[in-house]
Amino acid sequence: MIYRISILAFFCLCFSQLFAQSGKLGQIKNEVKENKSNSSSKHDHHSYSSSNDYDENGFFVELVGDVFLGLTYNVLFHSRYETPPFLAPEVGGVAFSKYPYIADDLGRYHDRPLDIPKKVSADFSSRYFYEDDKLYGLHHELRFYPTRALSMDVKYLFFREGLDDGTSDRLDLVMMNLNYHRFRLTWLNLWWGIGYTNLKTDEGNGGFNIAVGCELYPGKPISLRTEWQFGTVAQTNVAVGTVDIGVHLNRFRLFGGLQRVKIGTVRIMGPTGGLSFFF
């Protein structure tokens, strides 16, 4: 019960982050270019002093550090009180479902022994984004699960904006991530990951990002999904988030929701909808 309450609170928090005012693609490009130029022109000089003294506070610092590292590992990876992550259903673990809701109470994972278990899993989704008649875009994502606990994904976001002079502007964003699926339950799939973001401008800017996401399967045929990515490109912050609700029809998921993108000080937000296919 505590897990379900926590996940619902997480979804509510994600919805609260979606609402913001719109921006322009040209402003994004200008901010990235300006931040990159400012960063390259700065030359900071720092001086450090060190000491070899080790007093009675040293033991306390090490103890706190060990406890912090232990808690971090338990939260992000695995606790001794949980089932080991790679056990089969026959011995208390989970395996991939052929596709979500192949049975009424099973999501992406199942806990029932099968004669031929599914070794890997993958899905592809394509969504349309709309802010207004001038600003819209497409978002494609391919995710591959080589194991039950790990996945790799590639996302491509394309935005087009009509300008007042009759011309148009475009912006392309590519994100690649390696994800660890922390909770793999029949009704819950929660993950975090790290990866790379590339903003397609004339300068070709890229940078590091982190990701967190969740799929919730409350009952056939409904599922809830949210994913957020935060990174930095050319000293410019990049945040991309989606929250949606979907209906499953065998291997397909038809969904609709909201998408929010913030690059620098520019915010883009609007409804989104699309289709997913599970391999």
Which range, of 58-72, 117-131, 193-207, 208-222, averages the lowest pLDDT?
A: 58-72
Residue with tokens 């022109």: 41
Q: What's the pLDDT tens digit per position in 84-139?
A: 556 655 555 788 999 999 888 789 988 877 666 788 999 999 999 999 889 999 99
> What is d(CA 49, CA 47) in angstroms, rounded to the nearest whole number?
7
The predicted pLDDT at position 242 comes to 95
> What is d(CA 163, CA 172) in angstroms, rounded to the nearest whole number?
17
Q: What backbone phi and psi angles, to 5 degrees, belong to 168? A: -135, 155
The predicted pLDDT at position 32 comes to 75
Q: What's the pLDDT tens digit per position in 160-192?
A: 998 888 888 999 999 999 999 988 888 999 999
Look at the domain 2-38+88-278 and name its fold. Answer: Porin (2.40.160)
The predicted pLDDT at position 164 comes to 84
The predicted pLDDT at position 74 comes to 55
Percent of the chain with pLDDT over 70: 68
Over residues 215-220, mean pLDDT: 94
Q: What's the pLDDT tens digit per position in 12-50?
A: 555 554 544 444 677 877 777 777 666 655 544 443 434
Q: What is the pTM of this model?
A: 0.75
The predicted pLDDT at position 63 comes to 46
Compute the mean pLDDT over every residue in the chain, rounded to the nearest whole number: 79
The predicted pLDDT at position 160 comes to 93
Tokens in use for 100? 């979500």
Over residues 43-68, mean pLDDT: 46
